Amino acid sequence: MKIDYIEFTSPELDRTQAFFARTFGWEFVEYGPDYRDIQGAGTGGGIERGALRPPLIVLRTEDLEAARDKVRAAGAEITADIFDFPGGRRFQFREPGGTEMAVWAEA
């Protein structure tokens, strides 16, 4: 699996979006009032409206169930089991050192 997407939060979503658009020329796809998909940043990314938390590194796989089973068997805690979102499905886990990450696959 490879890193495919980085997701972070902003309590000031509109201001954050405007900053990145003006400063770096990024474009955005709006998925409702609380999520922006970043376009043109070199790596996929998204900004979710909400309280600040560490960025979420998202890996991509072709077989989501097998990836979940593999990270669980290696000692990770599944923090959010497989769920649907626009464009795919994903789960989240905490690796043994404490970092939360996610894995996604196309729908």
Q: Given the DSSP bridges, would you call strands 2-10 and 56-60 parallel, antiparallel or unpaired?
A: antiparallel
Q: What is the pLDDT of residue 86?
A: 87
- Tell me the C-alpha distance between 97 and 60, whole Å: 21
Digit-coded pLDDT (tens) for 4-27: 999 999 999 999 999 999 999 999
Q: What is the pLDDT of residue 96?
A: 94
- Tell me the C-alpha distance between 97 and 68, whole Å: 17
- Tell me the C-alpha distance between 106 and 44, whole Å: 14
Domains located in the chain, CATH noted: 1-60 (3.10.180.10), 61-107 (3.10.180.10)
Q: What is the pLDDT of residue 69?
A: 98
Digit-coded pLDDT (tens) for 54-106: 999 999 999 999 999 999 999 999 999 999 998 899 999 999 999 999 999 99
Amino acid symbol at 14: D
Q: What is the pLDDT of residue 8?
A: 95
